[in-house]
């Protein structure tokens, strides 16, 4: 009897550690444009009248949560696994990634930009505060959908094996560090 009890405890501990070690899998699903609600296209057309939709994904909002928090200074109220549309729109300036909530309202607009396109205030602040770090890859310009005119720049940095990203306003003020 004692052996069965010990075996039960060992099995319970083993299964518990297995369950704790599992990672959440966040799925991105490309969908056919005919499956997309028409209000999505109305909002896209209003924002990008000369652009065209390349493709559409449905993503968990968790994938844009950090960007959302840095732009709006609060967590998204959309729910961790609610339906969020990621729409790739081709424009004359390049590809814009537009994120819309399940009602079709634009939440964020992201575009990769060359580091030379960063505002001078942003470059000056990064160079001053991170003198031993190197700006890597393309940065991102993130525009708020709910607050017109609000823009944040995401800059990727590396120093040896350490990597980080910082978010700054166009005036070189941190939204995070």
Residue range 8-29, pLDDT digits in tens: 454 445 544 444 444 555 567 7
Q: Are 114 and 140 in contact (CB under 8 A)?
A: no
Q: CA 58 to CA 10: how far, in whole Å?
A: 41
Higher pLDDT, 82 or 7: 82
Query: What is the percentage of the chain residues whose pLDDT exceeds 70?
Result: 79
φ/ψ region of 160 (left if φ > 0, alpha if ψ in -120 to 50, else beta) reads: left
> Is the pLDDT at 126 greater than 90, yes or no?
yes
Strand partners, 99: 86, 108
**Residue 164 in tokens:** 């980080």
- pLDDT, mean over the chain: 82
From CA 165, how far away is CA 147, in angstroms rounded? 23
Phi, psi (5° rounding) for residue 14?
Answer: -60, -45
The architecture that CATH gives domain 29-176 is: Roll (3.10)
pLDDT value at position 79?
55
| Structure tokens belonging to residue 85 | 């549309």
């Amino acid at each position: 009897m004692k052996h069965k009890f010990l075996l039960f405890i060992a099995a319970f501990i083993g299964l518990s550690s297995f369950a704790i070690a599992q990672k959440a899998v966040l799925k991105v699903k490309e969908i056919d444009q005919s499956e997309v609600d028409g209000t999505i296209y109305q909002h896209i057309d209003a924002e990008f009248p000369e652009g065209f939709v390349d493709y559409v994904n449905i993503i968990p909002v968790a994938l844009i949560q950090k960007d959302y928090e840095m732009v709006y200074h609060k967590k998204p109220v959309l729910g961790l696994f609610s339906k969020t549309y990621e729409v790739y729109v081709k424009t004359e300036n390049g590809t814009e990634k537009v994120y819309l909530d399940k009602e079709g309202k634009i939440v964020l607009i992201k575009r990769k930009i060359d580091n030379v396109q960063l505002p001078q205030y942003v470059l000056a602040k990064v160079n001053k505060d991170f003198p031993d770090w190197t700006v890597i890859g393309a940065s991102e310009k993130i525009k708020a959908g709910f607050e017109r005119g609000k823009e944040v720049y995401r800059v990727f940095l590396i120093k040896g094996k350490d990597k980080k990203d910082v978010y700054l306003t166009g005036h070189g003020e941190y939204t995070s560090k």
